[in-house]
Amino acid sequence: MATKYFSKSLFKHLSIGVLMAYAVTGIVFLGYAMLITYTALSERNLPIVVAVTTIISVMVAGFDAARGAENRGWFWGMVAGLVYVLIMAAIMIAAVPSFSADGRTLLICALGIAGGGLGGILGINVKNT
């Protein structure tokens, strides 16, 4: 049932935004993996690549989620960032049995939610112009 704050359009934009964010993540990670494999580039910069990719990806998700919202773009952007982070955590838990959350994991989660909020701010302002 749609309410004043959550409509089918908002859910659609939120879902599409998260899917687009994962498309961006997949493309960047695949590209970086190819660079590591076929060049002399080392894995030393992997944490930076993961952090930057996460921020850009959740900004995409937040931007699209906020385009479907009437107001509170920052909130819906943060929700999109949270959904992205929770899905990524579930994938990591399933794929890596020895996975455990540490300080870096919590930082990536916080960056994901904050980046989603920033994308939501941009998305709601672009929509309203």
Q: Could you report the per-residue pLDDT of 36-52, keeping only the tens digit for each?
A: 999 988 889 998 998 89
What is the per-residue pLDDT for 47?
A: 87
Residue 2 pLDDT > 50:
no
For residue 5, pLDDT beyond 80: no
Q: How confident is residue 108, by pLDDT bands cut at 50, 70 and 90? A: confident
The more confidently predicted of residues 106 and 9 is 106
Q: What is the DSSP string of the chain?
A: ---SS--HHHHHHHHHHHHHHHHHHHHHHHHHHHHHHHSS--GGGHHHHHHHHHHHHHHHHHHHHHHT-SS-HHHHHHHHHHHHHHHHHHHHHHH-TT----HHHHHHHHHHHHHHHHHHHHHHHHHT-
The string of pLDDT tens digits covering residues 74-99 is 999 999 999 999 999 899 899 998 88
pTM: 0.85
- Percent of the chain past pLDDT 90, that is, above it, reads 54
Cβ contact 113:85 at 8 Å: yes
